Amino acid sequence: MGYYMRFVVTDKKGLDLQLIEKGLKQSDTAYTIANRRSDRNMGDIIYGGETLGQIEINGPGDSLFSEELQELKEFAEEAHGRQLKKVLDCLNRAKLIVAVQVLFQEKNPEATLERLGPLWQWLFMNRDGLLQVDGEGYYNGKPELIFEVE
C-alpha cells in the first residue's frame, strides 16, 4: 500500500502520458515520464533524475477504474461533508483517473509533494475535475481542501 493522489477528470478531452509530460516540461524541462508501459498507460514521473512517483491513467474499460471509483465513492459517503454532492457528482461523471503513487523513500515528503505540484496545476488548467489526496480529501483548482476524507 502506498500514498496516492488522484486527479478525477470529468471532461471528455483525451489525455495520455505524452501530453502530461509535455505539460510538465512547460513548467521545467527537468521533468520526464520514463519506463512507460503502453499496455497500461503508466510510467514513472522523474524530476532531474529523481523518481517522484508512478503515474497511471485509467478510464472506462479498465477494471482498476471501476474499482477505484467505487472505493472513492464509499469513502466520500462515509465522510459526510458540505461538499459531498459536488464530490459525488465529480466521481459519477468521471471519464479518467490520473493516479500517482508517490514514492517518498528516503526523501523529504514535502519536497516530493512540492515537485508534483506542477502536475496538478497543469491538470487543473487543462482539464475539469478534482484532486483526491489519500488521508486528506478533495481539492479544487485554487487549491483548497473542499471535502475532508480521512
Q: Of all residues in the chain, what percent carry a pLDDT higher than 90?
A: 81
pLDDT digits (tens, 9 = 90+) for 26-84: 999 999 999 988 777 899 999 999 999 999 999 998 889 999 999 999 999 999 788 99
Per domain, the residue ranges of the chain are 3-148
C-beta of residue 76 within 8 angstroms of C-beta of residue 91: yes
- Find the DSSP H helices in 82-126: 84-92, 109-126
C-alpha cell at 60: 472506462
Side-chain half-sphere CA neighbours of 70 within 13 A = 7
Angle, nearest 10°, between helix axes 109-126 and 17-27? 110
Nearest to 148 by CA among 87, 90, 70: 87
Residue 71: its pLDDT value, please? 96
Between 111 and 138, whose confidence is greater?
Answer: 138
Is the predicted pLDDT of residue 112 greater than 70, yes or no?
Answer: yes
* Residue type at 11 in one-letter notation: D
Q: pTM value? A: 0.94
Q: Which of the four CATH numbers 3.30.310, 3.30.70, 1.25.40, 3.40.50 does domain 3-148 have?
A: 3.30.310
